[in-house]
A and B are shown apart, each in its own frame.
Chain A
Amino acid sequence: MLTSIMEQLINGLRTGSIYALIALGYTMVYGIAKMINFAHGDIIMVGAYTLYIGIALLHLPVIPAMLLTAAVCSVLGMLIEKIAYKPLRKAPPLAVLITAIGMSYFLQSVALLIFSSTPIPFKSVINLEAVQLGTVNISGITIVTLAVTTLIMICLTLFINKTKAGSAMRAVSEDRGAAELMGINVNRTISMTFAIGSALAAVAGILYICQYQSLRPTLGALPGIKAFVAAVLGGIGSVPGAMLGGIVLGLIESLSKAYISTELADAIVFGVLVVVLLVRPSGLLGKKKLVKV
């Protein structure tokens, strides 16, 4: 029983840390650009296919293929912002939201046209033996996922809090107008945010296909939605909130699947979200903001 609970907790941590990685992208973009980038989930898909192209078709070694994946996703993220979102910066939030959903379908459809909807098997590039801790078995991909996400979260926190560019990001998120007056290049800061968020999605994409080993054009949709929920749960706009939200979501999902009901797992996850938002409308770690009417 104890082994079982431990293993389910580890399952939850692994899924949760992937959600957290994706949620970081949502929350950073929301913090800076005050918009919800629904195409974010599909960047994961683009990342997964890029890795597939790099390794299976171009026969690149693993590390360059991963760097290529991160680069392609970052550039794509910046391009999407420049082409689709920047012209709408002064438009009502609803217009931007619809554009983002449109962008998401656009990316999925392009992938469908190029790769068709038949799933493509893809052999994992991470081949680490499983580790046995007492009776608890931890698979190689789980260890890599947990290590990579922890490392990325530490680096990201240091970047945001200790560097000049990070301060610029925080300033733009606090007050875009004042930041501009202080000499911060807002356009560059927004581009950088999209690039970083998309690179995180690329990492999530790599971890995702190394775990599930199969590619479909819609593979980013569900993790994207779950991660968005995680970002809201943790408090959208808050970086530690996204990490916490992702992990909490993963744990709830895994435990309710294991001990309550597989069918009800998603309902329970969304139920928890509703309860949290009722009690703390700004999410677990979100800042309360007074809006003057």
Chain B
Amino acid sequence: MKKVVSVGLAAAMVVSMAACGGGETAETTAAPETSAASGDTADTQAEAADDAAEGMEEFVIGSTGPLTGSAASYGTSVKQGEEIAIQEINEAGGVKVGDTTYKLVLNFQDDEAKEDKAVTAFNTLVDAGMGAYVGAVTTGSCLAQTDLSYEANILQITPSASAEAVTVNPNVFRLCFTDPLQGQMIAQYVIDNGYESVAVLWNNADEYSAGIHDAFVESLESQDAGLLVADESFATGDVDFNTQLTQIKNSGAKLLFVPAYYGDVAYIVQQAKDAGMDCDFVGSDGWDGILGQVTDATLVEGAVFLSPFLATEDSAADFVSKYEAAYGATPDQFAADGYDCVYVVKAAMEQAGSVETDALIQAMTEITVDGLTGQVTFDASGEPTKSAKFVQIVNGEYTAM
């Protein structure tokens, strides 16, 4: 009798450890379906581009990001943004580099926002002969790839991985702003808006969330140490935040800062409401996409988060209409990041007058790209110079502040 129970307990541990593993294998099986579905549009575009681009050489832009899994919205958006940019460039006659004209081709691999998948996906792209790499979409995946891209000597531009460590290698550039910068901007937001007490709820198992949290806390305490009344954390995969939210509620915080991805945020705002909290919310750029994940938009009404891009602005109108026509959805900042990255690669190719990696890297610091996410230049450390916008959710819509 006791034996059965102890065998059972041992098996419970195995199951709990293997639970993630099992999910992964199965997710891979599910993946082709999704990519096949979205592949249809890509195919038609590629055909259209084929007609316009006969006799050109091909330049492959490799890219990875999550197309399935809990961060799927980010990867899908980046991919679709890139597809629009590539279609535009090819329709306008491709990229002229010296005497050769290149037609751009996108090879996008699903990494499910997981490090091991990201490594496999990157190696697949190297084998496929990519000329430049745009990725990865999420920070963890990107960190797993930067040494590989350095060894393979490929220009890497990440549209959205925001941890500082991403751009350590000289071949890696970043289009979005960094985690610490976001933390500092939110700390400034707290002070500028005169909040007397603020709480932070962050994912201590995630580089992105921890990076923002650390800079936020440091920046806030250097200005006014008494403001932070609660500092609570959770782990990736948690769905129950009631305990942390109860602590935050009873700390009397007037504002809750959640530097996390929209999947977690959806649980948090719902449970905050159930717990009877009425504080304001402020978030990092991972909040983009939250309106698609909450069951009730009033939960996030009035919430503010950082974003480099807003679809309702005039400068984005052309891109938004093309995107909506092709995918039936409003583009988010990730789509805009993906779009801009392709134009950055194009600008670097033209500036370099070559498609060799060393020349491309050299050219990166010399270009200025007027993108959807603002005007951007890069320095030799790989960091962009650009500004961030605050976005507020008003009447269930993302609006500029």
Residues on A close to B: CB < 8 A? Answer: 1, 3-4, 7-8, 11, 14-15, 34-36, 38, 93-94, 97, 101, 104-105, 108-109, 112-113, 116-119, 121-124, 130, 132, 137, 139-142, 211-214, 216-219, 221-222, 225, 228-229, 232, 236, 254, 257-258, 262-263, 281-282, 289, 291
Contacts and interface: CB of A to CB of B under 8 A. Distances in A.
A25 to B, nearest CB: 14
B325 interface: no
Contacts of B3: 93
A118 B72 contact: yes
B401 interface: no
Count chain B CB atoms within 10 A of each CB in A109, A117, A141, A291 and give the residue with the most: A117
A39 B275 CA distance: 32
Contact of B244 (A36, A122, A221, A257): A257
B70 A118 contact: yes
A117 B73 CA distance: 12
Interface stretch (B9-17, B188-196, B330-338, B355-363): B9-17
A213 B268 CA distance: 11
Contact of A34 (B4, B14, B233, B239): B4
A181 B204 CA distance: 59
A36 B243 contact: no
B293 A119 contact: yes
A119 B70 contact: yes
Given A3-B250, A213-B270, A289-B1, A121 B294 contact: yes
Contact of A221 (B19, B27, B72): B19
A262 B234 contact: yes
Interface stretch (B29-37, B149-157, B220-228): B29-37
Contacts of B247: 4, 258
Interface residues of B, number: 53
Contact of A229 (B12, B204, B267, B294): B12
Contact of B1 (A35, A113, A291): A291
B263 interface: yes
A97 B12 contact: no
B68 interface: yes
B242 interface: yes
A204 to B, nearest CB: 14
B233 A263 contact: yes
A112 to B, nearest CB: 4
Given A104-B15, A218-B23, A93 B4 contact: yes
